[in-house]
């Protein structure tokens, strides 16, 4: 056996930052399994419960591949544990990082397959992890440089998302400035990086954002003494802005880092079929009697009244059914604000309800911060 030379040893070994990133990404895969495990929507039984939102365009094709609850959870459990094992492999056996990389590839395929099952499962956290994991699988040795560039583009995209949806915001503008300094102004890259790290840390504390938990360490790992670009130019800036702007339309739910979690969302549903009248209101955030930082959804039903001025509302605690047909599955709307802001959610609900229940009248109105973003009135 030929003993390894310094060159081959360098090829065989992975530097500590890269091993740490590999471990982090594998742990992220495990954590996705842990979070998704009690949820629904991504297995066949969810279809009957009206607790499923297929992916746009490719959703119909993917729905044919939905597995049963039993097999889906079984795979999630098995591959989740494999990811966890892989996360510690770079620590316990530094020279066997290729095995961890192989596990990451398997986890990446499985995770993409899983997320593709339901549009609601996507989030900023998952998008960033998928891209970074892909880069690590393809070429781990140059991964950090590419992860750095990817983070800059995605973080720029998130700032553009914030500006697009909410107009000029202090944190979004500060975020853009910090990223510009980090990537384009060699002398001030440390300052830009530091400001970006502080913003992310603040976001993790202030908004309890899931994505920060993986994104923040990833950002710290991507720091390097060398400039992001050897010779930054306006072309780099334009390309980065263009790619970042694409995220507004191409990334599910958009990217939100400094996410506006507190902007209220209200949805008004009015359904009628024969003698059945349903008037439902969905509010986010739900009035927080239990938790001061409780941003969960409230779903209320207004009892059928002689006149609409009777506004007694009761919290809806079970799905609405009519002769075995689920008219309103609570899980469909009990989602994060990014999902509730998707017009596609309401359009799907409207079409699917027409197919399942054939209501005589169906009215859906959704607003974000008081501004309507979806309106539909079917029937008389």
Partner 1 sequence: MAGWPDGLRKALAVEEIETDLRLRCLLGHLLVYFHVTFSNWSHPVRASLSSAGQSTLTSVPNFLWDSPPTWLLSPGLSRLLLQGGDLLAVLGLIWVFFDCTGPLLLLGLLFAIKLFYYASDFMLLANYDHMHLLLVFVFLISRSRIFFLRLALAVLYILSGLVKLTPSWLEGEYFLSLPGRFPLLPQDHDSVVILCQLVILLEFCGPLCWYSRWRWMRVFSFVNFILFHLYSGAVVGFRYTSLMLPTISCLFQGGWTRPFGEGFRLGRRDLASWVTLALALWGGCVPWMIPGDARLTGEGRYFGCFMYDAERRVTFQYTMWKGDQRVEIEGERLWQRPHNWGVFAWMSACHVVVYEGPEKVLDRWVSSSRRKVASRPLVLDGQVVFNPSPFDFANARQIGDPYMYYAYAKSMISAYRPDRLSLTVYQQLDGHQERHKVLDIPDFEKLNPTYHPLSRNDWILDDTSHQ
Q: How far is the CB of 91 from partner 1 (least distance, A)?
A: 4
Q: How far is the CB of 148 from partner 1 (least distance, A)?
A: 15
Q: How far is the CB of 176 from partner 1 (least distance, A)?
A: 23
Residues found near partner 1 in the complex (CB under 8 A)? 16-17, 19-20, 23-24, 27, 30-31, 33-34, 37-38, 69-70, 73-74, 77, 80-81, 84-85, 87-88, 90-94, 201, 204-205, 208, 210, 212-214, 216-217, 220-221, 286, 289-299, 314-318, 330-331, 334
Asked if residue 345 lies in contact with residue 360, where contact means CB atoms within 8 angstroms, the answer is no
Q: How far is the CB of 269 from partner 1 (least distance, A)?
A: 14
Q: How far is the CB of 161 from partner 1 (least distance, A)?
A: 22
Nearer to partner 1 (CB atom), residue 186 or residue 261: 261
Nearer to partner 1 (CB atom), residue 4 or residue 74: 74
Nearer to partner 1 (CB atom), residue 220 or residue 241: 220
- The pair of three-digit structure tokens given for residue 54, joined into one six-digit string: 């297929």
Nearer to partner 1 (CB atom), residue 12 or residue 291: 291
Q: How far is the CB of 86 from partner 1 (least distance, A)?
A: 11
Nearer to partner 1 (CB atom), residue 291 or residue 358: 291
Phi-psi group of 57: left, alpha or beta (phi > 0 → left; psi -120 to 50 → alpha; rest → beta)? left
Q: How far is the CB of 95 from partner 1 (least distance, A)?
A: 11
Q: How far is the CB of 249 from partner 1 (least distance, A)?
A: 28
Nearer to partner 1 (CB atom), residue 83 or residue 247: 83
Task: Kindly report the backbone phi and psi dihedral angles of residue 105, in degrees, each rounded to the nearest multiple of 5, phi listed first.
Answer: -65, -45
**How many whole angstroms separate alpha carbon 230 and alpha carbon 330?**
52
Nearer to partner 1 (CB atom), residue 273 or residue 286: 286
Nearer to partner 1 (CB atom), residue 22 or residue 180: 22
């Amino acid at each position: 056996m030929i003993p390894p030379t310094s060159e081959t040893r360098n090829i065989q070994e992975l530097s500590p930052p890269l091993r740490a990133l590999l471990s982090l990404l594998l742990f992220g895969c495990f954590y996705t399994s842990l979070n998704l495990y009690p949820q629904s929507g991504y297995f066949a039984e969810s279809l009957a419960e009206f607790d499923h939102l297929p992916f746009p365009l490719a959703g119909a094709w993917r729905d044919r591949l939905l597995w049963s609850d039993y097999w889906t959870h079984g795979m999630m459990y098995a591959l989740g544990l494999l990811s966890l094992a892989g996360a510690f492999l770079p620590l316990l056996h530094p020279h066997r990082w290729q095995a961890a990389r192989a596990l990451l590839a398997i986890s990446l395929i499985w995770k993409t397959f899983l997320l593709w099952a339901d549009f609601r499962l996507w989030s900023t956290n998952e998008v960033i992890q998928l891209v970074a994991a892909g880069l690590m699988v393809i070429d781990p040795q140059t991964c950090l440089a590419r992860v750095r560039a990817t983070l800059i583009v995605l973080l720029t995209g998130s700032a553009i998302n914030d500006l697009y949806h909410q107009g000029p915001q202090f944190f979004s503008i500060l975020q853009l400035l910090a990223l510009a300094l980090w990537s384009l102004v060699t002398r001030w890259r440390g300052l830009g990086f530091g400001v970006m790290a502080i913003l992310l840390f603040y976001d993790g504390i202030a908004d309890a954002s899931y994505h920060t938990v993986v994104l923040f360490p990833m950002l710290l790992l991507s720091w390097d003494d060398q400039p992001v670009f050897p010779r930054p130019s306006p072309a780099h800036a334009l390309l980065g802005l263009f790619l970042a702007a694409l995220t507004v339309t191409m990334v599910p739910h958009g990217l939100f880092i400094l996410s506006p979690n507190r902007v209220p969302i209200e949805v008004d549903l009015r359904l009628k079929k024969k003698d059945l009248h349903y008037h439902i209101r969905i509010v986010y955030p739900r009035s927080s009697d239990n938790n001061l930082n409780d941003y969960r959804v409230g779903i209320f039903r207004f009892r059928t009244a002689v006149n609409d001025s009777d506004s007694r509302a009761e919290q809806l605690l079970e799905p609405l059914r009519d002769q075995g047909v689920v008219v309103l599955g609570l899980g469909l709307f009990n989602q994060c604000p990014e999902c509730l802001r998707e017009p596609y959610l309401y359009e799907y609900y409207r079409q699917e309800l027409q197919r399942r229940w054939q209501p005589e009248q169906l009215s859906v109105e959704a607003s974000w911060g008081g501004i309507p973003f979806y309106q539909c009135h079917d029937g008389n």
